[in-house]
Chain A
Amino acid sequence: MSSGLLKALRSDSYVELSQYRDQHFRVRRAGPRGGEALAQNPATWFSPGDNEEQEKLLKKSCTLYVGNLSFYTTEEQIYELFSKSGDIKKIIMGLDKMKKTACGFCFVEYYIRADAENAMRYINGTRLDDRIIRTDWDAGFKEGRQYGRGRSGGQVRDEYRQDYDAGRGGYGKLAQNQ
């Protein structure tokens, strides 16, 4: 029996999971030396169960990752825009790991999933600070995830890009050092 009449019509592609999976995501489990094995080093303790668990969390998450923000976009601006799809529980600004300044991404957590879904439908792909921003499901904020994972402290994408982006520190880090 098909899983619901007219499932073709009910498809809600804007709300579906993207291909992206956080490679640092680990289910908490005891390591061989006891205690938490939540990796600082992504290579350790990876298990296929992690991907399954991450997907499960993504499908019921109320938290969105927001990317392609300008370094100058404030929490207040994000609040204003994302409030249009519902009440916001919390915003966590993404920070450069060394400088502790905004580095162009954030997490937006809603109280209910339906509000996050509406953000995925109607706010994703529109402009904030004149930049097209992108939202994606996030499995949930954990301490440490507010920092960029690029070698220079910002986001990985700013390490390698070749173009000049005034809102994101100019040239990419690698290009700057050349």
Chain B
Amino acid sequence: MSRRRHRDENDGGQPHKRRKTSDANETEDHLESLICKVGEKSACSLESNLEGLAGVLEADIPNYKSKILRLLCTVARLLPEKLTIYTTLVGLLNARNYNFGGEFVEAMIRQLKESLKANSYNEAVYLVRFLSDLVNCHVIAAPSMVAMFENFVSVTQEEDVPQVRRDWYVYAFLSSLPWVGKELYEKKDAEMDRIFANTESYLKRRQKTHVPMLQVWTAEKPHPQEEYLDCLWAQIQKLKKDRWQERHILRPYLAFDSILCEALQHNLPPFTPPPHTEDSVYPMPRVIFRMFDYTDDPEVIFAELFQLPAPPHIDVMYTTLLIELCKLQPGSLPQVLAQATEMLYMRLDTMNTTCVDRFINWFSHHLSNFQFRWSWEDWSDCLTQDPDSPKPKFVKEVLEKCMRLSYHQRILDIVPPTFSTLCPANPTCIYKYGDESSNSLPGHSVALCLAVAFKSKATSDEIFSILKDVPNPNQDDDDDEGFSFNPLKIEVFVQTLLHLAAKSFSHSFSALAKFHEVFKTLAESDEGKLHVLRVMFEVWRNHPQMIAVLVDKMIRTQIVDCAAVANWIFSSELSRDFIRLFVWEILHSTIRKMNKHVLKIQKELDEAKEKLARQHKRRSDDDDRSSDRKDGALEEQIERLQEKVESAQSEQKNLFLVIFQRFIMILTEHLVRCETDGTSILTPWYKNCIERLQQIFLQHHQIIQQYMVTLENLLFTAELDPHILAVFQQFCALQA
């Protein structure tokens, strides 16, 4: 009965309104869909689709104006590949509804200001380009566009601002010219010439210290590695000389010329670039990658993959993209890709180390999708070179990665016998107490005892009591109560446990978990941590992948800390393997874990603070005194978290300082030795090492920016060898 009453209420109420809301939603979704889809494959021509859509939108302007404005601004921001399609659409709308055109221009300017304030510079470039193409569609008057560009380029006169800010405004101006250069020059050539002159003088006087750090190749042949603004300037100059003729840009508005030229244009309001603030973060400069004499799919993809400091997308995406392209173009792309690989191999000598890393990872993963088929004999030249030089090193690292994706015997099978010297070691465990000859080793009997204990599922306590009897070779008076640093105890325990758990990663992880307490106790001191890592390395030196996952686990379970890993990497035990890829993967992974840890605690602190703020607000709303007590607990938590954050940040800073310090030490050692011996400093080891230092700066530049003062005053001082100091100076130039 109540149900019927409910129904009556509905009927008596405002059904009209309710139905209209859901209809409105449907229409808005429909408009969104129409706008997104225009320009895609269709039975009709683009022109008729645009005309049709313009008609539909015009009719909907009275009821859905703000929605349509928002949609168009969004596609301008997010769909740059369809720029001229949407500018033509706006042109048609403006021709039919002048007011709407004006409101759209205003909305775009608002959007541009927002994007700049939000540091969304890539989006902002698309918006500027969109505005400039609106000149071609008779929506915006050319003189007002020229005025905006004048304001952009006048940013080059600003003082006390980062160069990267000035750079961006010049970039936004230049990169719009392929679309609108012709029109602007026709209408306002004198003004444009002035803007060009100002641009040129800026480009001549700006600093380019950052270039060596961002180059993929250190050589200028066969293709120069141009700084991106210099490259763009050269291209625009050429385009201007060619009277702005080009054949890449689709211009649908040309078909509507008769309609559009009747339209009234709007003037852009005077646009002042938002001032530089503390929070402004501008895009980093780039060095343009050139591989072929003409641009081809693989070149574009490799250009992104090798971009420094980082590719726009996750590395693995490019591998999968190239695999998909090979499937779509099986007759051509695999060969082009093979050629590209060959070219990259030929130029390994001058390729940036970080880019070589990515090349190794890409190539090995790619091969694993194609049965590892490759003409290795073509690369036989590397067999006679110093194994530490780029080409043989590359092949070695590739084969090692290929093995990780398959198995040892497979690698031996896929390469010619001559390449066996470059094949990776069989990833077996090395147990020093394993054979008869180890009887004489100190601790041997304890090792055997431990092995028996582990196999009979002993507990941590039982292990502790076995280890108690191990003498300490370092100390005269061993503290029987506690466990001061005893390298022999660590040796027998870690060797035996890891050996027994060698079967798989899971087995090793279980072992670490089960005897976590023992590990923590033995590795309590800094020397203990270092020794655990050393022993683990001795056991698994044939299996770099296992080393990496064990280090990762040990950090995550706090058996060792990040600084210990950094010190271990620079220790003499690792000097033979210092330039191997796995070492750097471990170091960068360690730094990333440290960074994530700091972010996590900061987030916890922020959340607790927000909770407190909400509680306060509720208290002031409710005037409830009982929440005073709740406040106390929360405030205590916030204080604890604050301490935790500070301690984590300090640990993070210390990690970077340790790393930089060790780099400076080993590089200085090398430079001094070469000077004394009278040999060239430019050994493969040196090139590798200095680029690894650059890599630390580039990969983690945001965090390191915080330490600039300390680095300048403490480590990278004027007394430092200029070769090492140059790296620091290049880094400073990146955001200067």
Please give the residue numbers on chain A whose beta carbons come within 8 Å of chain B beta carbons, in ascending order.
1-2, 5-9, 74-77, 79-81, 84-85, 87, 91-93, 118, 121-123, 126-130
Contact = CB atoms under 8 A, between A and B. Distances in A.
B43 interface: no
A77 B404 contact: yes
Interface extent on B, as a size class?
A: 35 or more
Given A9-B36, A75-B504, A77-B404, 12 more contacts: A5-B70, A7-B32, A8-B32, A75-B505, A76-B505, A79-B505, A79-B545, A118-B314, A121-B317, A127-B369, A128-B405, A130-B368
Interface of B: 25, 28-29, 32-33, 36-37, 70-71, 74-75, 78-79, 314-317, 319-320, 323, 361, 365, 368-369, 371, 401, 404-407, 504-506, 545-546, 549, 552, 589
Contact of B317 (A9, A81, A122): A122
Contacts of B320: 121-123, 126
B560 to A, nearest CB: 17
A81 B404 CA distance: 9
Contact of A6 (B75, B371, B405): B75
Contact of A76 (B78, B314, B404): B404
A91 B401 CA distance: 20
A128 B368 CA distance: 7
B317 A91 contact: no
Contacts of A130: 368, 371
A92 to B, nearest CB: 8
A74 B405 contact: no
A165 to B, nearest CB: 17
Contacts of A121: 317, 320
Contacts of B401: 80
B255 to A, nearest CB: 26
Contacts of A84: 315-316, 319, 361, 365
Nearest to A72: B407
Nearest to A130: B371
B343 to A, nearest CB: 24
A8 B316 contact: no
A17 B511 CA distance: 36
B602 to A, nearest CB: 16
Given A84-B316, A121-B317, A126 B545 contact: no
A149 to B, nearest CB: 22
Given A75-B504, A84-B365, A85-B316, A6 B25 contact: no
Given A2-B25, A2-B32, A5-B32, A85 B314 contact: yes
A130 B402 CA distance: 12
Nearest to A129: B406
Contact of B33 (A8, A77, A128): A8
A6 B316 contact: no
B406 A126 contact: no
A92 B510 CA distance: 12
Given A75-B505, A127-B369, A128-B405, A8 B545 contact: no
B36 A77 contact: no
A91 B506 contact: yes
A77 B314 contact: no
Nearest to A123: B316
Contacts of B36: 6, 8-9
B512 to A, nearest CB: 13
A141 to B, nearest CB: 13
A20 to B, nearest CB: 22
A127 B365 CA distance: 9
Contacts of B315: 84
Nearest to B24: A1
Contact of B25 (A1, A75, A127): A1
A59 B212 CA distance: 45
Nearest to B427: A76
A84 B25 CA distance: 41
A174 B225 CA distance: 63
Given A5-B71, A76-B545, A77-B405, A93 B506 contact: yes
B28 A1 contact: yes
Contacts of B361: 84
A7 B407 CA distance: 44
A88 to B, nearest CB: 9
Which residue, of B70, B317, B589, has the highest number of chain A Cβ atoms within 10 A? Answer: B317
Q: Considering the complex of A and B, which 3 residue pairs feature the smallest CB-CB distances, nearest first? A: A80-B404, A84-B316, A122-B320
5 contacts: A5-B70, A77-B407, A84-B361, A87-B552, A122-B317
Contacts of A80: 401, 404-405, 545
A62 to B, nearest CB: 15
B404 A122 contact: no
Nearest to B592: A87
Contact of B506 (A2, A9, A75): A75
Contacts of A123: 316, 320
A86 to B, nearest CB: 9
A91 B505 contact: yes
B494 to A, nearest CB: 20
B323 A126 contact: yes
A79 B406 contact: no
B75 A118 contact: no
A28 to B, nearest CB: 25
A126 to B, nearest CB: 6
B372 to A, nearest CB: 9
B551 to A, nearest CB: 12
Contact of B406 (A5, A77, A93, A122): A77
Nearest to B401: A80
